[in-house]
Amino acid sequence: MSISVLQRTQATQFAIAALLCLLLGTCQRVPSTLEQILTLGQLRVVTRNSPTAYYIGANGPEGPEYDLVRQFAHELGVALYIYTVPAFADIRSQLASGRAHLAAAGLTINDAWGDSVLFGPAYQQVRQHLIYKQGRAKPRSLQEINGSRLEITAGSPQAETLRLVRERLPTLAWVERRRGDSVELLGDVADRSIDYTIVDSTEFALGRNFHQEVRVGFDLMAGESIAWAMNSRDESLQHRVSNFFQRMTRGGQLTAILNRYYGRSNRFDYVGAREFIRDVQSLLPTYRKWFEEAAVKIGEDWRLIAAIGYQESRWDPDAVSPTGVRGLMMLTEDTAAHLGVPDRTDPYQSIIGGARYYASIRARIPARVPEPDRTWLALAAYNVGYGHLEDARILTQLHHRNPDSWQDVRAFLPLLAQEFWYTQTARGYARGWEPVRYVDNIRSYLDILEWVAADSGPTTAANQTHAHDAPAAVD
């Protein structure tokens, strides 16, 4: 599957032109959009690099729109070709020109599109939340908070809503921020830089996983409908899209996909010391010998591998994520195949494979990076992907901070979730707060393991500034 529009555009346009010439030359009618897709064997989808649509995760493409269109292409029996454009305004031209068969980019159904597009069925409702910080009195209305510092994103639907409200509440005042996005605004509410903000319900669902102190005061409007858009020249594709969403709704797959991205996530919540020690006593003895064996193979402290495994699955060999990542070390199917792991649910195979995967990532960290920073950077890359770690290190350097220092890089990783910053990086959006919490959690588990298992094994490399100056060997 391709993710770059430049790689196939000319070939695709030639194929379409050839197909049209052939059919017109034989006096046949122009094929419908659906017939073109089936004949070419490819569904071309335009989207945006966004947490609510499509982005590159640690293990490849992700995003709610990506998961949906991938399933739709599979049902059509064709390949998926998905590409991004920088702005919503560019989507209309992609559909009008025929370069894209379908737009799946978190689009709201409204009159601004005119008659140029057809929409599929609404599959999600987006509401506008007024956000406050936990600990404040819960606000009940805009009139109640009038006079407080309320900031929103300039040019957003929220700004238009507030202008409508001001017709009946003339003294209502707010600040429209021209730089930054909803994640940044949520952070400012969390640290009390501002009193309130207004964001879409989808943006809040994503941002609260990082800014856990923010809460919803009330909704400003009933909501807007999200749907896919198609060229209005024929309805053939619209019918298939409608049938697709009916099946996805009845079967529960649509709810599962939306919950995966917008449901409350506790994957990176820290398990308290008491619960962790209980699991050390009850679960670790079963797997410890395999953690030790894996550590020897890669020249690492077994306790670090054990801490990674606990963060990934709580040492549960039957763990599985909504994306199909599974096993004690939570390996993807592709990673397991690359590492020669035939059964991801076998705890021994998973531990050995996960250790080798960590070592392969760690070997990519520049050799000049000292310990313990090298270990922490490798763990961050294990979680978010090496490419996104490099983006964060570049941002760190651009701000005249040290890209080889974990303490400096961890401050810039969350910027990968802010549109102003991720649009300037090579790999775009990432859930940049996750690797920060991921590394913090593992360090906490590691500290406890070094205390409760201090009588065995070498001292962890992460606490030795002289260890591992050269890349770790991959067995």
Percent of the chain with pLDDT over 70: 87
Position 352 scores a pLDDT of 97
Position 457 scores a pLDDT of 46
Give the confidence band of 8 by pLDDT, cuts at 50, 70, 90: very low
The pLDDT of residue 86 is above 50:
yes
Query: For 278, left (φ over 0), alpha (ψ -120 to 50), or beta?
Result: alpha
The pLDDT of residue 267 is above 90:
no
Whole-angstrom distance, CA of residue 130 vs CA of residue 243 = 35
CA angle 49, 51, 56 (to 5 degrees): 60
Q: What pLDDT digit, counting tens, does each position of 378-408 carry?
A: 999 999 999 999 999 999 999 999 999 999 9
Domains of the chain: 5-117+234-260 (3.40.190.10), 128-221 (3.40.190.10), 273-463 (1.10.530.10)
Whole-angstrom distance, CA of residue 384 vs CA of residue 320 = 18
Position 28 scores a pLDDT of 62
Position 118 scores a pLDDT of 93
Q: What pLDDT digit, counting tens, does each position of 167-208 carry?
A: 999 999 999 988 767 888 998 999 999 999 999 898 888 888
Position 174 scores a pLDDT of 95
Residue in 257, 262, 235 with CA at minimum distance from that of residue 72? 257
Q: What is the DSSP annotation of 301-322?
A: -HHHHHHHHHHHHSS-TT-B-T
Which member of 151, 300, 312, 419 is catalytic?
312
Higher pLDDT, 3 or 77: 77
Higher pLDDT, 48 or 180: 48
Position 454 scores a pLDDT of 64
Q: What pLDDT digit, counting tens, does each position of 207-227 carry?
A: 887 788 999 999 987 678 999
Residue in 126, 102, 109, 106 with CA at minimum distance from that of residue 53? 106
Higher pLDDT, 45 or 28: 45
Partner residues linked to 128 by β-bridges: 200
What is the mean pLDDT of the segment spanning 134-148?
Answer: 93
The answer to whether residues 20 and 33 touch, using CB atoms and an 8 Å cutoff, is no
Exposure b/e, 137-175, CB count within 10 A at least 16 = b? eebeebeebeeebbbbbeebbbeebbeebeeeeeebebe
Higher pLDDT, 156 or 284: 284
The model's pTM: 0.77
Residue in 292, 327, 334 with CA at minimum distance from that of residue 313? 327
The pLDDT of residue 377 is above 80:
yes
Give the confidence band of 264 by pLDDT, cuts at 50, 70, 90: low
The pLDDT of residue 462 is above 50:
no
Whole-angstrom distance, CA of residue 430 vs CA of residue 392 = 10
Query: For 346, left (φ over 0), alpha (ψ -120 to 50), or beta?
Result: beta
80: enclosing H helix or E strand:
strand 79-84
Whole-angstrom distance, CA of residue 21 vs CA of residue 25 = 6
Position 259 scores a pLDDT of 87
Whole-angstrom distance, CA of residue 194 vs CA of residue 188 = 6
Residue 372: is the preceding peptide bond cis (ω within 30°)?
A: yes
The pLDDT of residue 473 is above 50:
no
Residue in 76, 69, 66, 82 with CA at minimum distance from that of residue 8? 82
The answer to whether residues 473 and 298 touch, using CB atoms and an 8 Å cutoff, is yes
CA angle 113, 116, 121 (to 5 degrees): 70
Give the confidence band of 269 by pLDDT, cuts at 50, 70, 90: low
Position 150 scores a pLDDT of 96
Residue in 378, 407, 403, 405 with CA at minimum distance from that of residue 392? 403
Maximum separation of any 2 CA atoms in the chain, in Å: 84
Percent of the chain with pLDDT over 90: 65
> What is the gyration radius of the CA atoms in the chain, in angstroms?
25
Q: What is the mean pLDDT of the chain?
A: 86
The pLDDT of residue 365 is above 70:
yes
What is the mean pLDDT of the segment spanning 430-453?
Answer: 91
Residue 403, token pair as written in the block: 């890209």
The answer to whether residues 436 and 414 touch, using CB atoms and an 8 Å cutoff, is yes
Q: Hunting for tokens 């401050």 — which residue is that? A: 411
Residue 472, token pair as written in the block: 């770790």
Helices and strands per DSSP (H, E), number in the chain = 20, 13
Burial class (CB in 10 A: 0-12, 13-18, 19+), 390: middle
The pLDDT of residue 138 is above 70:
yes
The pLDDT of residue 135 is above 60:
yes
Whole-angstrom distance, CA of residue 16 vs CA of residue 14 = 5
CA angle 164, 127, 242 (to 5 degrees): 115
Q: Hunting for tokens 């990086």 — which residue is that? A: 425
What is the mean pLDDT of the segment spanning 79-89?
Answer: 90
Higher pLDDT, 125 or 17: 125
151 included as an active-site residue:
no
Q: What pLDDT digit, counting tens, does each position of 309-332 carry?
A: 999 999 999 998 877 789 999 998
Residues whose CB is less than 8 angstroms from the CB of residue 97 and which lie 6 or more positions away in sequence, other chains included: none
Position 302 scores a pLDDT of 97
